[in-house]
Structure 1
Amino acid sequence: MSQKVTRRQFLNYSLMGVGSFMAAGVILPMGRFALDPLFQEEASGSMITTSVSADDITEEPVKVDFSYEQQDGWYVSEVTDFVWVYRDGEDIIALSPVCKHLGCTVTWAGDEANPNRFFCPCHNGLYEKNGKNVPGTPPRGPLDQYEVGVSDGYITIGEMKANELVN
């Protein structure tokens, strides 16, 4: 004995089926987006090796160039940047060259009146050697600091972080 499907049951089954497919179409991409980072491979070391020997670093800040690959969507490009590196006792310090006021590039001893400070030419901003902003000048905060290390005798540059040298 077969049971007849009423018009009301047919519409109910049809709407439930279509609603299920629509819900799956919305929920599955969101689930994929949420779970995808769990299945991604971790980067094998975030330190970038430079061409500057650690033995060449003195107490005077020097410009150290480094390059890395940057991926923007599907486009991969080679980016070249630099940091100011100097030795503080046994420690090697790497500071960002980007001024905290307007994002201009700071130089070491760029102002003849302040030979032992970082100088920002945009609005005459000054930073101490450890990256601390000089009171009374435009910068509102200290220069950022980079993780730095030594690998096979060469300087390695890591992630940027807040300046830990300034109290």
Structure 2
Amino acid sequence: MSEKKNNQVSRRQFLNYTLTGVGGFMGAAMVAPMVGMAVDPLLKADGSDDFQYVMDVDEITDEPQRKTFYIDQQDGWYDTEAERTAWIYRDENGDILALSPICTHLGCVVDWETGDHGNEFFCPCHYGRYDQNGVNIPGTPPEGPLHAYEYQIEDGRLYLGRANPREGA
């Protein structure tokens, strides 16, 4: 004799399934925005490869010139125009150098030929010194050379990209 199976769901099972489903849906609704915020920056294109016009190539001299330029920057969902500065000049070989003015010691701003420091970049915060090529002078606080901007030349115009660390003393 065959027994009939009871396919009915009890009240207790129905409530258990319903509450588990609703709780799972509410948990997913709370976690989804957090996951979205964490993953969103990874999915966006990096705009740091954009090059910005700074000056004409024929204006570049052997003496470092401080030039300011602006880049579009996105902080989360807030778009701004950020100011950047570079020391631009030709080295002894005639090659263009575009150096960041940010000291590699603690992030202060370096200046060219200030005070008793001729033909040097000098950081007044902790007396950091760099030679004319932006390489740190041994015995001073900076542990690396000034970062160099990537650059492109198009139609006699200089465009700067991001500043990258360099190998040095």
Pair 40,128 (structure 1): closer, same or farther in 2 beyond 3 Å: same
Query: Which residue matches 2:14?
Result: 10
Map of 2:3 onto structure 1: none
Residues 5-154 of structure 1: pairs in structure 2 closer than 5 A: 5-26=9-30, 28-29=32-33, 32-33=36-37, 36=40, 40=44, 43=47, 46-50=50-54, 52-88=55-91, 89-112=93-116, 114-154=117-157
CA distance in 1, matches of 2:20, 2:78: 42
Displacement of 1:38: 7.1
CA distance change for structure 1 residues 80 and 127 in 2, over 3 Å: closer, same or farther?
same
- Aligned residue type for 1:48: Q
Once the 2 structures are TM-superposed, how far is the Cα of residue 49 of structure 1 from its aligned partner?
1.0
Structure having the higher Rg = 2
Cα pair distance change 1:139/1:69, threshold 3 Å: same
Amino acid at match of 2:105: H
The Cα offsets for residues 49-82 of structure 1, whole Å up to 9 and x where unpaired, read as 11x2111212322112111233334443332221
Using the TM superposition, name which of 136-145 and 31-40 deviates more: 31-40
Unaligned segments of structure 1, at least 5 residues:
none
Length-normalised TM-score, structure 2: 0.78
Q: AA paired with 2:145?
A: P
State the secondary structure of the residue aligned to 1:94: strand
Once residues 42 and 122 of structure 2 are traced to their aligned partners in structure 1, the CA distance between those partners, rounded to angstroms, is 44
Answer yes or no: is the 8 Å Cα contact 1:131–1:163 preserved in 2: no
Bigger mean CA deviation after superposition, 154-163 or 90-99: 90-99
**How many residues end up aligned between the 2 structures?**
163
* Cα distance in 1 between the residues matched to 2:48 and 2:104: 31
Tell me which amino acid in the other structure corresponds to 1:83: A
Q: Which amino acid aligns with 2:96?
A: I
Residue 47 (structure 1) shift: 0.7
Per the alignment, do residues 37 and 106 of structure 1 end up closer, same or farther by CA in structure 2, a change over 3 Å counting? closer
Contact 1:49 1:151 in 2 (8 A): no
